[in-house]
Amino acid sequence: MYQAPRGTQDVLPEDVPYFAYVEEVASRFAALYAYEEIRTPTFEDSALFRRGTGETTDIVEKQMYSFTDKGNSDVTLRPEATPSIMRAYLQHGLHNRPQPLRLFQLVNCFRYDRPQAGRWREFRQLDVEAIGEDDPALDGELITLFWRFCEALGLQNLSLELNSIGDPACRPHYLDALRAHYEPHEEELCGDCRRRLVVNPLRLLDCKVPSCQPVADSAPPFFNHLCDACRDHFARLQAALADEGIPASLNGRLVRGLDYYTRTVFELFPAKVSAQAALGGGGRYDGLAEQLGGRHVPAVGFAAGIERLVLNLKDQNVVVPGGARPRVYVGHVGPKAEPMASEFARNLRSRGVSVIRAVGERSLRARLRHADSAGARWTAIFGDEELQNGTVCLRDMTAKEPATLPISQAIDQIIRADHGGTK
Ligand code: AMP
């Protein structure tokens, strides 16, 4: 027997309403804040992520689904959406449109990660980006959008963690301070951290290995080492969030796993916090466009994990709108009544009423049992008698007794009860 590949999942029909709900509210919230939808390819040149996401990130070093296609191109299934959106921005000259350009997309992403609760090798993200402006009001707008979106989903007890990781002016000074803090402890560090100390010291703060925690916890936070411009930017963002009534906890260890961030970084957590629990996160990436060979383009964005949101909706017993159920079960008993039953189904569907049409030959009892389990509001049965009289045996499943009615009257009754709608 074949199984779905490790780290992937089948979302069965009973779970689809959770995903559909999250994605519907996501699109609605994006529109509410005037973010337009963009759709970028599922795979890109591998170099885009090596340059964009960063050579020394876990994603690029360990997690990319890269392959050489039949034309010898080195391509990668997108591990995240931000580099694709920035590539599209540069490729199509979108700086010519009114700035900032506000964009979102709902995408599947691929990372060769260790599968565990809330961590998949294929997962979905809501990705929201605002490009072409460095005003911290925009960082505030994005965080607000994310927070209000989670609230609208019905999630309770959210918490926001916030940090600033400076810009090219202040980062070298901070990294000196960080190295100075870590160097006396080099012996106690994990292998990865000893390497990070040389190649990417900021990522030291991201380490989850227990023996590295005391030294990371006591490290000086970047927000105490910001240059004037970055300090002012961070203060204005905090003021914007306070205006919105969104509480932020400062977390000097929050650096995020990607290389392109400058200044603002943030993560949003649900009530039950575990190591894998962030609903999503993001930040400002003023250097990404240049890293990709383009002009200087300030930008800020976030990505929320759809599976994480669904997991938390279930944890918090949030009731989501159910999937559409068929309204009418239409069955025939005996082959002669089949055309009449089919005509009835055709008539209803042409008026927008959803119909589950019984197939095969079954007894009346079997038809009724099937109708019951199908969960339709109405059951319409056609047998020899109905065929002769031009009637249908119609049962409103919310009432008790079936009634034999002329066909047009049965249709009227169904339509009237449904208010003429397609619900
Ligand atoms: P990132 O793109 O790494 O900043 O992740 C943003 C959000 O995407 C995370 O907070 C998660 O909600 C979600 N996410 C990231 N990686 C995975 C994964 N492997 N499986 C499921 N969700 C993920």
Centre of ligand 1 to C-alpha 234, Å, is 25
Q: Give the pLDDT score at 397.
A: 86
**pLDDT at residue 422 greater than cutoff 50:** no
Count of CB atoms within 10 A of residue 270's CB? Answer: 22
Task: Please tell me if the CB atom of residue 279 comes closer than 6 angstroms to any atom of ligand 1.
Answer: yes
Rounded mean pLDDT, 228-240: 98
pLDDT by residue (tens digit) across 15-52? 999 999 999 999 999 999 999 999 999 999 999 999 99
Centre of ligand 1 to C-alpha 304, Å, is 7
Task: Please tell me if the CB atom of residue 124 comes closer than 6 angstroms to any atom of ligand 1.
Answer: no
pLDDT by residue (tens digit) across 136-169? 999 999 999 999 999 999 999 999 999 999 999 9
- Helices 16-32 and 136-153 sit at what angle, rounded to 10 degrees? 140
Q: Give the pLDDT score at 419.
A: 62
CA distance 151 to 144: 10
Task: Please tell me if the CB atom of residue 257 comes closer than 6 angstroms to any atom of ligand 1.
Answer: yes
Q: Give the pLDDT score at 274.
A: 55
- For ligand 1, pick from 22, 57, 60, 119 the residue to mutate: most ligand atoms within 8 Å of CB: 119
- For ligand 1, pick from 123, 256, 309, 313 the residue to mutate: most ligand atoms within 8 Å of CB: 123
Using CA positions, which residue lies closest to atom 13 of ligand 1?
Answer: 305
Task: Please tell me if the CB atom of residue 122 comes closer than 6 angstroms to any atom of ligand 1.
Answer: no
Statement: the pTM of the whole predicted model exceeds 0.85: yes
Instruction: Please give the residue that has the higher pLDDT: either 346 or 277.
Output: 346
Domains and CATH numbers, the chain: 16-170+226-315 (3.30.930.10), 328-418 (3.40.50.800)
Q: Give the pLDDT score at 235.
A: 98
Q: Give the pLDDT score at 343.
A: 97
**pLDDT at residue 324 greater than cutoff 90:** no
Q: Give the pLDDT score at 234.
A: 98
Task: Please tell me if the CB atom of residue 206 comes closer than 6 angstroms to any atom of ligand 1.
Answer: no
Centre of ligand 1 to C-alpha 367, Å, is 46
Q: What share of the chain in percent tops pLDDT 90?
A: 90
SS3 assignment for 165-207: CCCCCCHHHHHHHHHHHHHHHHHHCCHHHHHHHHHCHHHHHHC
pLDDT by residue (tens digit) across 187-224? 999 999 999 999 889 999 989 899 999 999 999 999 99
Token readout for 215 is 């030294």
**Closest ligand 1 atom to Cα of 268:** 10
Using CA positions, which residue lies closest to atom 14 of ligand 1?
Answer: 305
Q: Give the pLDDT score at 273.
A: 61
Centre of ligand 1 to C-alpha 366, Å, is 47
Any idea what DSSP says for residue 119? B
What does the mean pLDDT of the chain come to? 94
CA distance 75 to 41: 11
Count of CB atoms within 10 A of residue 41's CB? Answer: 12
Task: Note whether 177 and 225 are within 8 A (CB).
Answer: yes
CA distance 49 to 39: 17
- Helices 136-153 and 228-244 sit at what angle, rounded to 10 degrees? 30
Centre of ligand 1 to C-alpha 279, Å, is 8
Task: Please tell me if the CB atom of residue 80 comes closer than 6 angstroms to any atom of ligand 1.
Answer: yes
Centre of ligand 1 to C-alpha 213, Å, is 22
For strands 159-164 and 262-269, give the pairing: antiparallel
**Closest ligand 1 atom to Cα of 308:** 12
Q: Give the pLDDT score at 135.
A: 98
Q: Give the pLDDT score at 277.
A: 85
Task: Note whether 130 and 301 are within 8 A (CB).
Answer: yes
Centre of ligand 1 to C-alpha 107, Å, is 12
Rounded mean pLDDT, 109-124: 95
pLDDT by residue (tens digit) across 332-382? 999 999 999 999 999 999 999 999 999 999 999 999 999 999 989 999 999
